[in-house]
Amino acid sequence: MPQRKKGENEDMDKVAIYPGSFDPITYGHIDIVERALEIFDKVIIAIAHNAEKRSLFTVEERLEMVRAVFKDTPNVITDSFKGLLVDYVAKTNAKVILRGLRATSDFEYEFHMASMNRSLNSHLDTLFMMTSKDYFFVSSRTIKEVASLGGAVEGLVPDLVVRRLKEKFKLPVTKQKQIGWDD
């Protein structure tokens, strides 16, 4: 089969949508995106406007951070959406929803969501990628909790996110108290 050059016919691109809150983006998310790029030509990170979830960062702030993280990766597109995910997906050429799985606790919710999305659009599949061993304990929620108490989150989120967290929690940007996970 003749090889197709990247970007030659975008309709034939294998595209995945990675939806979520990304409040804020962590290395757990980034790891999933990087691994997905081995399978897909393009990954669309879709930040959900979710009125029911209290967020630390506005959708605009989250978009800005995700865009900065992937500024040198043109096959990662960052967008936001309101309403049903299946309606947003229909406006793109993606056929797959990408989600990360951490522990069994993620499974039940993810299983329900994937089943519901498939019932809303039977052409749509959800692909789950298992978390990496280095990030199985990393969630945006715990990152926010630890950062709000002055704990170090370096190495778990990109430096620009560390800075934004410190600004939000009004912590000094240079000196941060180191606390253990059991404190």
List interacting residues with ligand ADP (CB under 6 A): 20-22, 26, 28-29, 32, 99-100, 102, 106, 131, 135, 138-140
Minimal distance in Å, beta carbon 78 to ligand ADP?
13
Strand, coil or helix: what is 126?
A: strand
Q: Is 49 a catalytic residue?
A: no
Minimal distance in Å, beta carbon 135 to ligand ADP?
4
| CB contact set of 75 (below 8 Å; sequence gap of 6+) | 6, 37, 41, 42, 43
Distances 46 to 94, 138, 163, 179 between C-alpha atoms, Å:
12, 20, 23, 33
Annotated catalytic residue within 35, 95, 102, 168:
102
| Nearest CB to ligand ADP, comparing residues 10 and 60 | 60
| Nearest CB to ligand ADP, comparing residues 21 and 78 | 21
Strands (DSSP E) along 7-92, which ranges? 15-20, 42-48, 76-81
Annotated catalytic residue within 53, 123, 133, 175:
53
Q: Is 4 a catalytic residue?
A: no
Q: Is 148 a catalytic residue?
A: no
Minimal distance in Å, beta carbon 15 to ligand ADP?
17
Query: CA 153, 158, 159, 162 torsion: positive or negative?
Result: negative
Between CA 108 and CA 102 the distance in angstroms is: 12
Annotated catalytic residue within 29, 62, 99, 164:
29
Q: How many Cα atoms occupy the beta-carbon half-sphere of 88 within 13 Å?
A: 21
Between CA 74 and CA 33 the distance in angstroms is: 13
| Nearest CB to ligand ADP, comparing residues 22 and 170 | 22
Annotated catalytic residue within 21, 99, 140, 164:
140
Angle subtended by helix axes 140-148 and 159-168, to nearest 10: 50
Minimal distance in Å, beta carbon 3 to ligand ADP?
32
| Nearest CB to ligand ADP, comparing residues 102 and 177 | 102
The residues that are catalytic are 29, 53, 102, 140
